[in-house]
């Protein structure tokens, strides 16, 4: 995707990753970027009573600010409900993109575990919008590269020491005999409804790539941390800020820990903190998607990417934050989630296209953590401690 005439649709373009990716592609690559969103995340945040570290301007205001700063008019917003199949097909036919990045998801495990309504809404939003997009691709143009944001949490309940990138053969003993499964994906098991929806999405990707000969990349994304990319990092670029959640519903673990540290609140670890998670900075994640836009994916191919740079325990993450705030206390809460704190150490296969992200990763991790800390410090007066501690439990 070298030419400036290329068009990229970013579904979920009002979101944390979607907005960051959209402005980066438009600014650095010069492509036309169409941000597609129905702004439902803003409604979900309001419904559960949380607020952002920095209030988000309206999409039109953010795009006006982008045009003012960068003197470009290649960023467009379309308010579209992807649960409407006709609207989804129309937007793809209208812009005829060379690639679509689908980050239009209800992204929160706690939100999906709050109620039957929320669980059903998670499945409906994530899977139906995904299905509508795939049907539209099959109807409009099967050559469009489709990059679907998945989750490394699909493997959260799987006790394995290795996660391969491709289908493989599995051999096991059962009933006194050696058995085998030939050319299949590593079995996946979630520990919440949100990640269960992502498993379904992954399997749908595999089905339609083979059935309709689409070009599909499933990105098994680790937890993203960070507040800014180069386009919105300067303080006078505040109008381009992406969403930064620090609450108990939509936030990620590092966001919470950093915000707790800057206001002098104890860093709250769930359980004993031995559970491990994958991590990747927001700048590294954006750069990795640049690489994926140029990946050679054939018709009928389903390519899988494990997008991560670090695997750390929650305790190790808390200790990393405390290195930058030595006076911060660490406390341990009863884990409201269902997470394994033991099991096999997972080795995860990395695609060659993303190998560079693993270079000097320890130095980059601490540098990005310092950047996050400075960002949170800048807006710490708006942090509400009552929104951070967990209120959603997996048990019923």
CATH number of the domain at 12, please.
Answer: 3.40.50.720
Percent of the chain with pLDDT over 70: 99
pLDDT score of 340: 81
Q: Is residue 374 part of a domain?
A: no
Query: To the nearest whole number, what is the mean pLDDT of the chain?
Result: 96
Q: Is residue 376 part of a domain?
A: no
Please tell me what DSSP assigns to residue 332: E
Q: Is residue 197 part of a domain?
A: yes
pLDDT score of 3: 47
Average pLDDT value for residue range 325-346: 92
pLDDT score of 1: 52
CB 230 within 8 A of CB 294: no
| Segments forming the whole domain that contains residue 197 | 7-238+277-311+345-359
Average pLDDT value for residue range 75-98: 98
Instruction: Assign 339 a pLDDT band (cuts: 50, 70, 90).
Output: confident
pLDDT at 166 exceeding the cut of 90 = yes
Taking alpha carbons only, the member of 59, 5, 6 closest to residue 36 is 59
Helix or strand holding residue 173 (H, E): strand 168-174
Q: Is residue 325 part of a domain?
A: no
Q: Is residue 173 part of a domain?
A: yes
Q: Is residue 50 part of a domain?
A: yes
Average pLDDT value for residue range 254-273: 97
Total number of domains constituting the chain: 1
The 10s digit of each residue's pLDDT in 223-232 is: 999 999 999 9
Q: Is residue 256 part of a domain?
A: no
pLDDT score of 342: 78
CA distance linking residue 394 with residue 396, whole number of Å: 7
pLDDT score of 369: 97
Average pLDDT value for residue range 49-69: 97
CA distance linking residue 351 with residue 357, whole number of Å: 11
Q: 357 by DSSP, 3-state: which?
A: helix
The 10s digit of each residue's pLDDT in 290-305 is: 999 999 999 999 999 9
Q: 76 by DSSP, 3-state: which?
A: strand
pLDDT at 167 exceeding the cut of 50 = yes
Average pLDDT value for residue range 86-110: 98
């Amino acid at each position: 995707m070298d030419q400036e005439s290329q068009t990229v649709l970013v579904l979920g373009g009002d979101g944390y990753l979607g907005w960051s990716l959209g402005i980066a592609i438009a600014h650095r690559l010069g492509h036309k970027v169409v941000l597609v969103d129905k702004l439902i995340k803003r409604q979900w945040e309001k419904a559960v009573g949380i607020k952002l570290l920095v209030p988000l301007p309206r999409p039109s205001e953010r795009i006006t600010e982008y045009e003012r700063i960068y003197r470009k008019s290649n960023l467009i917003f379309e308010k579209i409900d992807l649960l409407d199949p006709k609207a989804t097909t129309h937007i793809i036919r209208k812009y005829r993109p060379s690639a679509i990045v689908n980050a239009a998801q209800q992204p929160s495990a706690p939100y999906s575990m709050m109620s039957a309504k929320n669980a059903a809404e998670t499945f409906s939003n994530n899977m139906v919008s995904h299905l509508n997009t795939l049907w539209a691709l099959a109807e409009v143009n099967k050559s469009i590269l489709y990059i679907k944001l998945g989750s490394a949490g699909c493997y959260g309940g799987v006790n394995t020491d290795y996660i391969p990138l491709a289908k493989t053969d599995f051999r096991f003993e059962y009933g006194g005999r050696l058995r085998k499964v030939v050319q299949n994906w590593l079995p996946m098991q979630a520990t919440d409804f949100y990640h269960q929806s992502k498993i379904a999405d992954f399997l749908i990707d595999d089905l339609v790539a083979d059935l309709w000969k689409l070009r599909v990349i499933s990105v098994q994304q680790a937890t993203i941390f960070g507040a800014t990319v180069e386009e919105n990092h300067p303080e006078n670029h505040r109008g381009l800020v992406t969403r930064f959640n620090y609450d108990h519903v939509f936030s990620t673990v590092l966001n919470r820990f950093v915000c707790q540290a800057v206001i002098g609140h104890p860093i709250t670890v769930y359980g004993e903190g031995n559970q491990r998670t994958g991590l990747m900075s927001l700048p590294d994640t954006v750069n990795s998607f640049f690489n994926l836009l140029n990946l050679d994916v054939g018709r009928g191919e389903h390519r899988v990417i494990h997008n991560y740079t670090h695997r750390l325990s929650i305790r190790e993450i808390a200790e990393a934050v405390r290195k930058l705030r030595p006076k911060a206390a660490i406390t341990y809460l009863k884990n409201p989630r269902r997470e394994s704190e033991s099991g096999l150490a997972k080795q995860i296969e990395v695609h060659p296209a993303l190998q560079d992200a693993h270079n000097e990763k320890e130095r980059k991790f601490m540098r990005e953590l310092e950047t996050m800390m400075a960002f949170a410090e800048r807006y710490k007066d708006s942090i509400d401690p009552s929104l951070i501690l967990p209120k959603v439990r997996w048990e019923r």
